[in-house]
Amino acid sequence: MTMNLYPSFGLLLVDDEPSFLRSLSIALERSGGITHIHRCQESREVMGILARENIGLVTLDLTMPHLSGERLLKRIVEEHPDIGVIVISGLNQVETAVNCIKLGAFDYFVKTDEEGRLIEGVKRAIHLQELRRENQELRKRFLNDTLEHPEAFAHIVTGDKGMRSVFQYLESVAPTNQPILVSGESGVGKELIARAAHTLSGRQGPLVCVNVAGLDDNVFADTLFGHQRGAFTGAEQARAGMIEQAADGTLFLDEIGDLSMASQVKLLRLLQEGEYYPLGSDRPKRMRARVVVATHQDLGEKQRAGEFRKDLYYRLRTHQVHIPPLRQRKSDIPLLLEHFLSEAAEELGKDKPTYPPELTVLLANYGFPGNVRELRAMAFDAISVHKARTLSMDVFKRTIHQTNQDAGTDLAVERTVFAADESLPTLHEVTDLLVHEAMRRAEGNQSIASRLLGISQPALSKRLKKMRTS
């Protein structure tokens, strides 16, 4: 299996000292997880390499024979302005450093500087280059309204423009190594988005899914990090954690909002350091998986309430995708209904039935607290009891009625309906407005409109006649 290179673009190390190039390469790979490295000892070959390879960042020595680092820096900035340059020099001179920054260098380091500081500088430059490339990709996709890989979203049934924007954003951020936070209500399909992100990343490893809700700190650590033999009572043999199982792939952590504070600290360290210790081991392992997390909770609100770490929250939301609820993309309801009816009929060994046109009107006026998952359950329930040629609406009506009854107390939540600086309409005017709105939403269907108003159909019919004659 081929190991995925990080970052997605190449890092070119330029220095005429082979020993320095070798030691820097090893340090970047061991301490920074940076594996997409090119090395060059001859400064005259650099421009040719930049023309041939997908290079995003260059580390450049200043004092080299033939073509000096300063002259090379000028050429790179002029001919390849999208490539970042870090100068690494043996000269500890403020004037030289300032001049390099003025010429366009991203940063300046002295070779005798602490190795950790240099590696952090390279990682920081890689992150900024990734953000720059993502912004360029986003602009291109939104301006052209294109999807480069629509096949990655083939398993997601939608025609909604908001969802298309989500797909375009995912295409832009999927190749990077940064975490993705997927938010949205329960049942909107967050795991499907995680699968699409994994497919788009091009990673050769598997997608490993873990629901972290209800895991205490010890179970969370053992699940993710694994353990050595004898790490605790009952650990008779070593076990690889989910991070190791997801090597060169994607680790999907669902319900991340339910993590305890202690487990949040462990996850933060994993994301910051890129390494972890299996339980019972004193030798660190490098994380080779991309992390995608999901939650139905408002992490921003939990963070303000002190229930979620601020540093972890901001690290997770480097790339954030919000999936709109089904009630905000009602044009998807007919598409999803067709899909689930076909799926249910095939699974249950029945012919797919036709359904009355007013069914989609009924569903469009329902809030779907369970979102796509709830619509799927409705469709399967309806097919399971279906016997006639036309699908009955009874299952759908019964579910909607029961949900509305259960949520009856929630409907009394105070809402601002009338403007404070305007006079109140009369009761008669309000009634007429409600009837008009209900009939509009029901597309003229009195049975559905009466359900929306909470009255009987004869009562609505009587009201409509009175409105026409008045």
Pairwise CA distance, residues 94 & 83, whole Å: 24
Q: Which CATH number fits domain 327-412: 1.10.8.60, 2.40.110.10, 3.30.420.40, 3.90.226.10?
A: 1.10.8.60
Regarding beta strands 285-286 and 275-276, do their DSSP bridges make them parallel or antiparallel, or are they unpaired?
antiparallel
Residue type for 219, please?
Answer: V
Q: Does an H or E element contain 20, and which?
A: helix 18-32
- Least Cα distance to 326 among 402, 378, 258 occurs for 378
Burial of residue 18 (CB within 10 Å: 0-12, 13-18, 19+) is: exposed
Considering the four listed CATH numbers 3.30.360.10, 1.10.230.10, 3.40.50.2300, 2.70.170.10, the one that applies to the domain covering 10-135 is 3.40.50.2300
Sign of CA dihedral 229, 231, 236, 239: negative
> Whole-angstrom Cα distance, residue 166 to residue 322?
8
DSSP for 129-189 reads: HHHHHHHHHHHHHHHHT--S-GGGGTTS----HHHHHHHHHHHHHTTSSS-EEEE--TTS-
pLDDT tens string 205-223: 999 999 999 899 989 999 9
Q: For position 412, what pLDDT does the model report?
A: 45
Tokens of 363: 């569903």
Helices (H) and strands (E) in the chain, counts: 19, 14
Q: Please, are residues 254 and 296 in contact by the beta-carbon 8 Å criterion?
A: no
Distance of CA 192 to the CA centre of its chain: 10
What is the full per-residue pLDDT of the chain (470 aa) written as tens digits? 345 788 889 999 999 999 999 999 999 998 888 999 999 999 999 999 999 999 999 999 988 988 888 899 999 999 999 999 999 988 778 888 898 999 999 999 998 777 888 999 999 999 899 888 888 887 777 777 788 899 999 999 999 999 999 999 999 888 888 899 999 999 999 999 999 999 999 899 999 999 999 899 989 999 999 998 888 877 788 889 999 999 999 999 999 999 999 999 999 999 988 889 999 888 889 999 999 999 999 999 999 999 999 999 999 988 999 999 999 999 999 999 999 999 999 999 999 999 998 899 999 989 899 999 999 999 999 999 988 888 988 889 888 888 877 665 444 444 556 666 667 778 877 888 888 888 888 878 888 888 878 888 888 888 888 778 76
Residue 419 confidence (pLDDT):
66
Return the CATH class of domain 427-469.
mainly alpha
Distance in angstroms (rounded) separating the CA atoms of residues 323 and 329: 10
* 10-135 and 160-324 in the same fold: yes
Residue ranges of the domains in the chain?
A: 10-135, 160-324, 327-412, 427-469
Q: Cα–Cα distance between 97 and 13 in angstroms, integer?
A: 19
Asked if 191 and 208 touch (Cβ cutoff 8 Å), the reply is no
> Closest by alpha carbon to 171, among 192, 212, 191, 142?
142
Measuring CA to CA, which residue among 126, 173, 131 is closest to residue 274? 126
d(CA 160, CA 113): 53
CA atoms lying within 13 Å on the CB side of residue 397: 12
Distances from the Cα of 258 to the Cα of 65, 77, 311, angstroms: 58, 47, 16
For 357, list phi and psi in degrees, rounded to 5: -60, -25
What pLDDT does residue 420 have?
61
Of all residues in the chain, the percent with pLDDT exceeding 90 is 58
CATH topology of domain 160-324: Rossmann fold (3.40.50)
Task: Return the closest-CA partner of residue 106 out of 86, 77, 129.
Answer: 86
Q: Which residue do the tokens 């398993």 mark? A: 155
**How far is it, in rounded angstroms, from Cα 314 to Cα 226?**
27
pTM for the structure as a whole: 0.73
